[in-house]
Chains A and B, each alone.
Chain A
């Protein structure tokens, strides 16, 4: 590794401290990201503006978890996000392995590349609209088979829409992990007499698993908070983000809305942390 050369001292005046460069960004983040989140948590605990809130209390949480609709929405949210992420992972693993092979061989696929990245720039509402166009009451697929009509407003329909939503968010990070897999590992395993399925199960999958879990955790967190898709399909299955919005749009109940938002955020953070921790554990378990 080349030793970094020491930069010659600046000629004129004393150099400004380096953190000064970061200051504008830190101020913006502090004011418009960290502080509002703290206020949100405070609101949910009854620590908001005095006229509305009368001091520290957990009653908003008690009321939220006491409500059957909130509980249902919470369970639905977890099932949809979890199911979509699992399904996406199953689809994504062969795709990224293929892409890694193609990249190494220098083969094309720029079109497929752009196409598979596209959904990341599509807001959730458009993905919800796709579901309506294909499997709404007058959807295109409904013409082929009646069972597709209205599927968009059912649990499986929403699940498929969320798979579309998760796909680019899993493919991206997983592709990086697949690219670092040394092809000599699978080649060696093959020459040692292992069949392709065996190589996949004993070499490829164990090495890809930590990255898959981590990407899954991130995608789960994002899917959990995704509002656009379910907002477009709101006449169907109810998910928690809808309740967060409803508490504000139907009679400004900031504390109740904040409480649900905190619950949602806590689950997302939990998914992220769990993804990281689990990935590390698996990496260690797989390595021993």
Chain B
């Protein structure tokens, strides 16, 4: 019974992707699957205009990941190692973008900082506050782990200085959590649409906006090809997420 449910759920998730692939490789999808024969032409048409947009989205996502680690890492460390009412309030504050719908936050951001929009700075910062909760969710439990803290103390008692402890004990122990955070943040930023809606610089849109534009203006086959290209960019990231979860340490009671 549960096996049937799992299989049908997998089918439910996979079928739309396969159908989009069929549409992207059909000469004329309105005449049915592979109507008037199969073709790769739509991919050839889709790629040149999409390439710079994808490149821009990759750059934004990478920047957001780096910023997440740079400012989210120390924040996670503070929350994990110095629990107090203050860190609890911080926990709520960080999660505001999860509770407030993206489109609402987008309205709020563009209303407050319209001058930061054209440069794309507002977009990066918007993605940053939206993804920070995920970084914290991955890193705080890993950093708060008792065993890790004991190991760090042992390393320090053996004469390692703070930087060395961080490099040789803390970071390796948190590698799975960091991988989880990085992949999740990357995937979320790469596909972010809601918060980006009003803060995305109009002249230089990110990939989801190019897709959205195609959905309303282009042929279904071309839009399908663009969607498949987009999925091809996030699929490896997802495999990494699944891998990281598998490698997640099993707690022994």
- Give A residues with C-beta under 8 Å from B: 1-2, 4-8, 10, 18-19, 21-22, 24-26, 28-30, 32-37, 39-40, 43, 48, 91-92, 94-95, 97-99, 101, 110, 112-134, 136, 138, 140, 143, 164, 167, 218, 221-222, 224-228, 231-232, 241, 244-245, 248, 254, 257-258, 261-262, 264-265, 268-269, 272
Looking at the assembled complex, report how far the CB atom of A174 sits from the nearest CB atom of chain B, in whole angstroms: 12
Is B74 part of the contact surface with A, judged by Cβ < 8 Å? yes
B150 CB within 8 Å of chain A: yes
Taking CB atoms, residues of chain B closer than 8 Å to A272 are 98-99
Q: Is the CB of B153 within 8 A of A6?
A: yes
Task: Report whether A4 and B93 are in contact in the complex, using a CB–CB cutoff of 8 Å.
Answer: no
Distance in angstroms from B131 CB to nearest chain A CB is: 11
Q: A37-B108, A264-B104, A268-B100 in contact; A122/B234 too (CB < 8 A)?
A: yes
B10 close to chain A: CB less than 8 A? yes
Most buried by A among B71, B90, B188, B223: B71
Q: Which residues of A contact B227 (CB under 8 A)?
A: 126, 129
Q: Which residues of B contact A218 (CB under 8 A)?
A: 98
Number of A-B contacts (CB under 8 A): 276
Q: Per DSSP, are chain B's interface residues mostly helix, strand or loop, or mixed?
A: helix
Dominant secondary structure at the A interface: helix
**Alpha-carbon separation in the docked complex, A122 to B207 (Å):** 12
- A118 partner, pick from B13, B101, B208, beta carbons under 8 A: B13
- Can you list 27 A-B pairs with a CB-CB distance of less than 8 A? A5-B157, A7-B152, A21-B75, A29-B93, A32-B109, A34-B96, A91-B5, A94-B2, A110-B246, A114-B238, A116-B10, A119-B13, A121-B188, A124-B193, A129-B227, A130-B20, A133-B224, A134-B19, A138-B30, A140-B22, A164-B13, A227-B102, A227-B193, A231-B212, A241-B194, A245-B198, A254-B111
Please name all residues of chain A whose beta carbon is closer than 8 Å to the beta carbon of B241 when the two chains form the complex. 114, 117
- Given A126-B231, A248-B198, do A94 and B6 touch, yes or no (CB 8 Å)? yes
A residues within 8 A CB of B162?
A: 10
Q: Which residue of A lies closest to B147 (CB)?
A: A2
- For the complex with contacts A33-B96, A40-B104, A40-B111, 12 further pairs of A-B residues with Cβ separation under 8 Å are A4-B153, A18-B78, A25-B75, A28-B128, A36-B108, A36-B111, A36-B112, A94-B1, A95-B9, A121-B234, A126-B211, A261-B108
Q: Is the CB of A24 within 8 A of B2?
A: no
Query: How many angstroms from the CA of A110 to the CA of B242 in the assembled complex?
Result: 7
